[in-house]
Amino acid sequence: MTIALVHSSSAQEGILVAHGDHFELVCEDNELISITHTILETANITQNVTSLVTYSMRGTIEGEIKTEGDPEIKQLDIRSTSKDGDTTLIVSFSAALAPLKFAKLKLFYKLSGVLRNENGTVRLRYTFNTDARFPPEIVVKLRKPLQFGKLIVENTVPSPNVFIEESHYYSLVYRVPLLTLGNTSMTSIDISYRNETDFDAIISWAILALCGWIIVAPLSILADRKFRLGRAKKGYSFEVFKDKEGKFRFRLKAANGEIVASSESYGTKRDCLRGIESVRTGVANAIAKDAFD
């Protein structure tokens, strides 16, 4: 956070006030930027102080300005005027300041006219002036593209001090004062970026999916074969044997080894196997019949 001492005319009765601004700019798809503007103030002694700060910026405020402040912030008054694409924002409040403790005020608003989509390339031109001695800290958040997309930042003037990758955004952080003119500071940021299809990511995904299928498919077939074999082992089975007269017979056994049925005798083993096949094909269509009916 950049904290700057305001010019000496703001000091009263030996009070030295420290003032700081933090701006978070979120670039939206509808060519608006959502701004969270945080104002911090503290003093060298405990005292009630009246603060009046004027901000000039490129763009037009859309809708109402919402606020969120610490209990120390009192008598808050916010006024904004927009003309020819420029906005003047005046913020005044009284605060019970204490040493080493910051009174915090947050402003939430949307700004139009500074974010343009020109044939797929999005350009952010943001200019900001304040009567504080140093520029604020500014964080520009660019929304991450969807799956198989990539963000290409073509230009950013000046270069950000920190680049942070978050879950849904890329954050460009500007901390060093950009321009100071006497007791007034001016901030100007120019960023160009675009979203493109990431063909390398698509190819990598396809290769991984294909490799996964090559590995999983044989395993699935093997597992299914083992299941079918296991199921066959647990079902009924036919057993061919010779009786006391040397004739061939077969018997049907259950999974527990119990003999369910026995066949007539056959002269050859081949005839016995044909009898088994006959039973296999015919038993599916067999019906139960009561001989006493």
Residues 149 and 100 placed together within one structural domain of the fold: yes
Residues 87 and 168 placed together within one structural domain of the fold: yes
Q: In this predicted model, what pLDDT tens digit does every residue of 21-42 receive, in sequence order?
A: 889 999 988 889 999 999 888 8
Question: Which of 180, 197, 214 marks a domain boundary?
Answer: 197
Give me the chain's average pLDDT, please. 78
Residues 258 and 120 placed together within one structural domain of the fold: no
The pTM of this model reads 0.61
Residues 26 and 124 placed together within one structural domain of the fold: yes
- The reported pLDDT for the residue numbered 76 is 92
- The reported pLDDT for the residue numbered 36 is 94
- The reported pLDDT for the residue numbered 5 is 35
* Tokens representing residue 204 in the block: 């990598």
CATH number at residue 83: 2.60.40
Q: In this predicted model, what pLDDT tens digit does every residue of 187-210 receive, in sequence order?
A: 788 888 888 777 676 777 677 777
- The reported pLDDT for the residue numbered 38 is 92
Q: Is a pLDDT exceeding 50 seen at residue 92?
A: yes
Q: Is a pLDDT exceeding 90 seen at residue 132?
A: no
Residues 145 and 205 placed together within one structural domain of the fold: no
Average confidence (pLDDT) over 127-134: 69
Identify which of 193, 184, 161, 138 has the alpha carbon closest to the alpha carbon of residue 21: 138
What DSSP letter does each residue of 84-122 carry, written as one string? TTEEEEEEEEEEEEBTTB-EEEEEEEEEESSEEEETTEE
Does 148 reside within a domain? Answer: yes
- Domain total of the chain: 3
Tokens 């044997």, located at residue = 241
**216 vs 63, which has greater pLDDT?**
63
Q: In this predicted model, what pLDDT tens digit does every residue of 53-73 receive, in sequence order?
A: 888 888 999 999 999 999 989
* Tokens representing residue 28 in the block: 């939206």
Average confidence (pLDDT) over 242-271: 83
Beta-sheet pairing, 17-27 with 3-5:
antiparallel
Positive or negative, the Cα torsion across 26, 115, 131, 160?
A: positive
